[in-house]
Amino acid sequence: MDGTARGQTINLNVSGNHGLVQVGFITQFTDQDPSNLRNIFLNVVAVRLNPLPRKNSTKFPPENNSKWQTITIPTGTGIGNAGRPGDLQIDLLAGRTQLQLFNTAAVRIDQYRTVELILDTTNPGYVVPVCQQGSGLGTLEGCAYAPLQLQNPGNQILFLATTPIAVQNEGVASLPIQLNFQINTRPAIQGQPYVGTVTISQANPTDSEAFISGTVQGAGSGIVKKKVRRLTVSAEPAGTNNVVATATVLKGKYGIYVPAPTGGSTGAAYDLFVSGGGVSFEATRLSGSSAVFAGDKPTVDFTPAKIDAPLGTISGTITDQCNNNAPISGATINLLIPPDSNSSADCVSNPTDCVIVATANSGNAGTYPLPGTVRSPSPFNNVPIVSKNSGPAAPYTMEILDPGYNTVIDNNVVPSTSKSAGKCANSSSPPACDYALPTSYLKGTLTLTAAPAAGTEVLAQVFAENQGTNNLVSALGIPAIIRPGNTSADFTINVPAYTSSSIAQKPPTSNLDLFAEAIDTYAGAADPYPGHTIVTAANLAAPTVFCATSDFSTDTGTGMLFPSAETMDCAGHGSITGQLNNPDINTFVEISRNWNNTGDVQLFSAAPVSLILPPSGAENNPPVGNGYSMCVPPDSTPYTLTRYEGATPIETPVPGASQPITVNGPPVPEPSSTPSPCPSTCEDANGNCPRICQNTTASPL
């Protein structure tokens, strides 16, 4: 959802005379109220630090000064040119209410006073406005990309720190940066850019972060040598494997900064775990009454069961059981342990009750783990082999998952120092740690109201989710294509089967919900939101046999997956904006659709962002987001908006206020004797383009 902390690939290769700096952004708007904007994305390339100027000087160091230290985007996040790093998009609207982490990287030990922000000057970002209010007779389309330009693109963006950023040997320093953004010029006609000014200033960590510290008793600083990961404490949002912050353990102590809300009734829930350094895994969960708020400084101590455990490896291959054991690339493999805060947690029956302490992914050949480096090997090559009372090594629980397949959980996994690379008693081919993931298939048909115009085609993506939830379980690997002269296309989507197995878990519900949306363009460019109506299918029985296909492409008496009456129509853009009453960090709004009373299918969710400017004098302490916006195509079938509480993976969302809503469609196109190029997302059955879209205002939730 919008506004959540971003995951990182944290570089822990901290050599002597270096420490870590954790960079994040919080946003403040210094001029116009951005309430009619859906997103403002800024493309950040890097953050640079310099110890100059020293003493009482206020002169900024030149760009070519040799003392600059550069923190680039996380590894693998973006691809740049000529070997340079790419960009990381920062959502300025989401950043008004929550710190967005950028990256954590090593810099030389020093006291840094100058901080510089490096933006992509060629493509600084883009803006997505919502639809216009009122009659829709304006000239600006909503829910489409608009370029962002800088008012002064050649100017340095930097500040002089009032409190120097102190980087200590192998320690972690927090650097929250306040991004100040001003809209100088708004476009008058479609295609013109938004022009804005970006400045930065030093933010107070206590306004956006919690600081968690403590000890790892008996561990010292762990084993420090090649092929052994550093002894660290890591934090991830509870129930996920998304590590957002990591701190090195030095002389048995650690300190870690994590994003946290400034207000509301619910704090941020985190899993903390100790790993590396030849120390046995240990984890705990901060949730409920122990969840953290900005400015909190809780103490969390760890006492590992073993501080000199031998290290082993778990490796193998992930394949497709239903496709001649073809390799599966990109599957996720997690190691789970019960947290100290719930030591009796059952990691098989309730994986989210446990903490993920190591993660791997399969490569193109289906093998895992992907290789690490000599200084920072893969966590799966550094798994502690923990024995109880000098007896056999205690087994781990391992979770293997990939969209469209049944999840496999093996609770009898033992790492090995031999070439066997682990022993997995419940694998597909024990004792090897190889797993063949089962799946099943649904076959259906997508239908358009009108065939695509000559020279165009319509691409459509199909999504499957557990019935009655927004828990996506699958999507088409390749979108369905409907070409000119055709109004339909068949597709086959793989989904988890609802059947028990010795190794595979069945989904939590026996039925599935599906929905399909077009992948449209606008004015020849990529369009973030569809212009065709979204079609839905509810309460569809999942297959009960592995590798079986349920054919709903034609009406064979069981009904079609998407009935022929449920067609994708060219409707143009549409948007919804609304306000929330007293939201907190776990509040979100879900939009769903119930076609022909066949069942409510959840489509998209929106986290609250601050769409109203803070009261005067509160600019540096923004409130919890109090508004939301969505871009969805107009539809004759009303949508339903529902407010939920409990957005973290470890909690079941609780529905609150709900309301039906019909999204305003564009005005009827006026007849024209002179055909003109259609800039819109689509053409209707008569070859007309939808006009400029109109916003729909929802009642407060």
* Tens of pLDDT, residues 102-119: 999 999 999 999 999 999
Residue 661 in tokens: 């809503």
**Rounded-to-integer distance, Cα 533 and Cα 389, Å:** 63
Q: Work out whether the CA dihedral 498, 504, 505, 507 comes out positive or negative.
A: negative
What tens digit of pLDDT does each residue of 407-438 get? 999 999 999 887 678 999 999 999 999 999 99
More confident residue, 386 or 346: 346
User: Among the CATH numbers 1.25.40.10, 3.30.420.40, 2.60.40.1120, 1.10.600.10, which is that of 311-437?
Assistant: 2.60.40.1120
pTM of the model: 0.90
What tens digit of pLDDT does each residue of 576-598 get? 999 888 888 788 999 999 988 88
Q: In Å, what is the CA distance from 321 to each residue of 8, 437, 438, 500, 508?
A: 32, 5, 5, 15, 21
450: left (phi over 0), alpha (psi -120 to 50) or beta: beta
When pLDDT is cut at 50, 70 and 90, the band that residue 7 belongs to is: very low
Q: In Å, what is the CA distance from 565 to each residue of 493, 560, 632?
A: 21, 10, 20
pLDDT at 503: 79
Instruction: Give which of 550, 625, 540, 551 is closest to 588, Cα–Cα.
Output: 625
> What's the chain's average pLDDT?
86
When pLDDT is cut at 50, 70 and 90, the band that residue 76 belongs to is: low
Q: Per-residue pLDDT averaged across 556-573, rounded? A: 77
Contact 435, 503 (CB under 8 A): yes
What value does the CA radius of gyration of the chain take, rounded to a whole number of Å? 26
What tens digit of pLDDT does each residue of 230-240 get? 899 999 999 99
Beta strands 440-447 and 549-551, pairing class: parallel
**Rounded-to-integer distance, Cα 68 and Cα 74, Å:** 19
When pLDDT is cut at 50, 70 and 90, the band that residue 614 belongs to is: very low
> Has domain 440-551 been given CATH number 2.60.40?
yes
For the beta carbon of residue 614, count every other beta carbon within 10 angstroms.
17
What tens digit of pLDDT does each residue of 511-531 get? 999 999 999 888 878 788 999
523: left (phi over 0), alpha (psi -120 to 50) or beta: left
Residue 388 in tokens: 């109880």
Residue 616 has pLDDT above 60, yes or no: no
Instruction: Give which of 315, 290, 299, 295 is closest to 255, Cα–Cα.
Output: 299
**Rounded-to-integer distance, Cα 97 and Cα 625, Å:** 6
Q: In Å, what is the CA distance from 594 to each residue of 461, 554, 591, 599, 699?
A: 19, 22, 10, 5, 20
**Rounded-to-integer distance, Cα 595 and Cα 593, Å:** 6
**Rounded-to-integer distance, Cα 296 and Cα 96, Å:** 20
Q: What residues contact 1, with CB distance under 8 A and at least 6 apart? A: 588, 605, 606, 607, 647
Check whether the bond before 369 is cis (ω within 30° of 0): yes
What tens digit of pLDDT does each residue of 303-335 get? 999 998 899 999 999 999 999 999 999 999 999
When pLDDT is cut at 50, 70 and 90, the band that residue 669 belongs to is: low
With a pLDDT cut of 90, the percent of the chain lying above it is 54
**Rounded-to-integer distance, Cα 260 and Cα 209, Å:** 5
More confident residue, 16 or 281: 281
**Rounded-to-integer distance, Cα 233 and Cα 222, Å:** 12
